[in-house]
Amino acid sequence: MPTPSMEDYLERIYMLIEDKGYARVSDIAEALEVHPSSVTKMVQKLDKSEYLIYEKYRGLVLTPKGKKIGKRLVYRHDLLEDFMKIIGVTNENIYVDVEGIEHHLSWDAIDRIGDLVQYFQEDEKRINELRDVQKRNEEEADSKGHI
């Protein structure tokens, strides 16, 4: 099982390969805002754990195991962003909130959140009803002087 740090790398590597067709150490370092030497160390660790194959100066490729996990991590991230939008979290907070919780949820919790997101997306009326509840709660809090 990959560590949260390994997951961040696998997710980013998977996205780079999907977007550009490849992922270089410099691309990964830039995307994760870390030093290339840190990327090299992690890539070597991921290679040892058989998530990818890394050859110095030649680049890297995800193994089937690495691809599968990378795809699932991207799905988890996107799902949590959708969930945050549905429940009304402001756009400027969504990315930070998702990064803060994504490694701390079980896959069972992710599946249940997926069910909830699907439930709301299947009928726009449900989202509107949720917004009405949120608006009432805000008005009630304002009238009581709560922040």
- Residue 92 annotated as binding site: no
- Residue 77 annotated as binding site: yes
Q: Which residues make Cβ contacts (< 8 Å) with residue 32, sequence separation at least 6?
A: 8, 9, 12, 39
- Residue 99 annotated as binding site: yes
- Residue 8 annotated as binding site: yes
Rounded to whole angstroms, the Cα distance separating 58 from 117 reads 41
> Considering the chain, what is the average pLDDT of its residues?
94
- Residue 35 annotated as binding site: no
Q: Structure pTM?
A: 0.87
Q: Which tokens is 61 given? A: 């490729």
> What single DSSP character describes residue 130?
H
pLDDT, tens only, 46-84: 999 999 999 877 789 999 999 999 999 999 999 999 999
- Residue 104 annotated as binding site: no
Task: Give yes or no for a contact between 92 and 29, defined as CB atoms under 8 angstroms apart.
Answer: no
pLDDT, tens only, 9-34: 999 999 999 999 999 999 999 999 99
Q: Which tokens is 84 given? A: 């945050």
